[in-house]
Structure 1
């Protein structure tokens, strides 16, 4: 090619480049799927769901798997469109079939909870497994939960731990917490308190409240770490500030006892109230106690009774007993022996010794219930066998006087001997025992003494009758 011709072609090419730079309006903006996907995601994160939908829907309809998953989320959450779980599942399934792990996991979640599909644990486990096998941490964690609870799979704590570990090693906080819990209680793996602390701490440092609360408990009790009330309070506070009721209760207890913080009843009551308002029965009981005794709050028997009632209605035995006592004494409520007996019975049936004793006394006196010495003996005996001195003494009197049973000096002597050997009021009980001995032969006294020693040595399992 001649030089002039070559030059003319180069000049023509340069003119094309110059023209394209000088006249940008000649360009037509080209939209790419990746760009639209990202723009939709940015809009979604900013709460602009209409723009997100406009960007994603064409991509999803064209078969784009990520857009299909995102579109499923929009319908699942009802963001910018009416909530439609069935339509969400359609899009999730299309994305899942193209290998989107989030979508596979979301389908598992939907089957587990019956959202847009009929609840089916086996289907849930199948979809979780599909994503978990590919290393997706949320699916691995959820599959661990399925194995822990036997949902859709045979319950297997070892397999649960296996999947927790895989997710935990990827930094999944909930999996780290559950792995710590498994080590703490020896479920699916040998108990190892130091490992429990290690995994709790990993999750706790990510802000996971359950782990923070449990880590506080480990420090409080010296489990897997040297005991440190200061460290316990640190972790309790982190969880409590996130609204975790159990941590709020524990922090309140730390203030009440002055463990790791200066003793402060006002702070104790404040934290108890926060937990109590979330429905935690033990916190409701503790707050009731604060109101009953005027600690950190003004004394208020009515509020005390109300908090005891809230806890008692959840089956919290000590609150049931405390409420029964409020009714028996007429504190914050009208005196009502029948109500007292009702609550003592509920607590007594759970084995609470003071409730058993008080109920026995009510039956003995016919207060709130028909007088029934047999029932009195039944409840006094249950309390006596838990070491309740007053029950032992009163039970002895029932046998000595033949109330509800045939008079039985041997059994009466046994209980008086036990009561006199275990309580600071032994002298007074001893006098009653010695008076009873005047009605007994030496052989009977020896037998009663033997029964008492056997009863004590056996932990109240062999009490002579």
Structure 2
């Protein structure tokens, strides 16, 4: 009885899911091909990290020629930045487009940049926006930021500050520092939102904590003026010092005024706070 049950079960399973030798061979071939492509891509990534761009290009090309979307994105990046090859924007755009057409969000965003700047393709604000939107809709924070810029400036789209805020916020919520700065600027000036210095300070601080020099100079200035925070020349000095150390010209100018309003003890405290600061990511 047990044997009959086992035999019947095995027969039922075999009948329901019969696999031919041809099917098995095709499956094994596809698995092996995918592994080969993946191994070339991973070798390219490793070489790229090690700045061995000649080998990165070699391995990425092997994967890209087999249709690997991310390898095609890296091919575009290598040609765009001229890493190990002569810089070639047209070739970069070609590879970006192949990856972008496969739905790669990074490639879509970078192709948008190529159209925005007219590099390797005819300059087109409309095309830039089209590719930014594709990437932004997939959650790409850089594309969301760039789309926010477009809505804020009215390039390639109808100017719409509320829409700019919406895209900036999506990018800012993912930690995109430039978007956080621009969102802070919008709340400080009241474009598309009610003016709110405290909210501006909140966004500036997020970006400043990541080391963004524009956010640091803006945060320092808010402390100097007492806008959205209790007025403090010591805190102003700290943030302006950090921004100036990165070469921000506005910070250099602002810090001279702030220093003139401070006692030697306050300056020393501001310098101590600046020296103790560490970025947060």
| Residue-by-residue CA offset, 1:384-410 (whole Å, 9 max, x unaligned) | xxxxxxxxxxxxxxxxxxxxxxxxxxx
TM-score normalised by length of structure 2 = 0.84
Residue in structure 1 matched with residue 186 of structure 2 by the alignment: 290
Compute the displacement of 1:363 (Å). Answer: 2.2
Residue in structure 2 matched with residue 406 of structure 1 by the alignment: none
1:341–1:171 distance in 2 versus 1, CA, 3 Å: same
Residue 257 of structure 1 pairs with residue 188 of structure 2: no
Gaps of 5+ in 2: 1-7, 272-281
Residue 320 of structure 1 pairs with residue 251 of structure 2: no
Compute the displacement of 1:139 (Å). Answer: 1.5
Compute the displacement of 1:369 (Å). Answer: 5.4
Residue in structure 1 matched with residue 38 of structure 2 by the alignment: 138
Distance 1:299 1:37 in 2: 67
Compute the displacement of 1:35 (Å). Answer: 3.4
Q: Which of 336, 343, 355 in structure 1 is aligned with 2:251? A: 355
Residue 101 of structure 1 pairs with residue 17 of structure 2: no
Q: How does 1:360-399 map to 2 (within 5 A)?
A: 360-366=256-262, 370=266
Distance 1:240 1:214 in 2: 12
Compute the displacement of 1:289 (Å). Answer: 0.3
Gaps of 5+ in 1: 1-25, 39-63, 68-94, 106-130, 376-465
**Contact 1:364–1:371 (CA<8 Å) still a contact in 2?**
no
Compute the displacement of 1:337 (Å). Answer: 1.1
Compute the displacement of 1:286 (Å). Answer: 0.3
Q: How does 1:72-111 map to 2 (within 5 A)?
A: 101=32
**Contact 2:234–2:266 (CA<8 Å) still a contact in 1?**
no
Compute the displacement of 1:166 (Å). Answer: 1.2
TM-score normalised by length of structure 1 = 0.52
| Residue-by-residue CA offset, 1:228-259 (whole Å, 9 max, x unaligned) | 00000000000000111000000000111111
Q: Which of 132, 135, 148 in structure 1 is aligned with 2:48? A: 148
1:337–1:65 distance in 2 versus 1, CA, 3 Å: farther
**Contact 1:341–1:368 (CA<8 Å) still a contact in 2?**
no
Residue 157 of structure 1 pairs with residue 53 of structure 2: yes
Residue 244 of structure 1 pairs with residue 140 of structure 2: yes
**Contact 1:276–1:284 (CA<8 Å) still a contact in 2?**
yes
**Contact 1:362–1:369 (CA<8 Å) still a contact in 2?**
no
Compute the displacement of 1:66 (Å). Answer: 11
Distance 2:15 2:37 in 1: 27
Q: Which has the larger radius of gyration?
A: 1
Q: Which of 108, 113, 123 in structure 2 is aligned with 1:212? A: 108
Compute the displacement of 1:181 (Å). Answer: 0.5
**Contact 1:219–1:231 (CA<8 Å) still a contact in 2?**
yes
Figure out how many residues of one structure are paired with residues of the other and give that number.
258
Q: How does 1:295-444 map to 2 (within 5 A)?
A: 295-366=191-262, 370=266
**Contact 1:362–1:368 (CA<8 Å) still a contact in 2?**
no
1:369–1:361 distance in 2 versus 1, CA, 3 Å: farther
Compute the displacement of 1:156 (Å). Answer: 2.0
Q: Displaced runs of 4+ in structure 1, greater than 3 A?
A: 30-38, 64-67, 99-102, 367-372
1:366–1:241 distance in 2 versus 1, CA, 3 Å: same
Residue in structure 1 matched with residue 11 of structure 2 by the alignment: 29
| Residue-by-residue CA offset, 1:192-223 (whole Å, 9 max, x unaligned) | 11010011001101110000000000000000
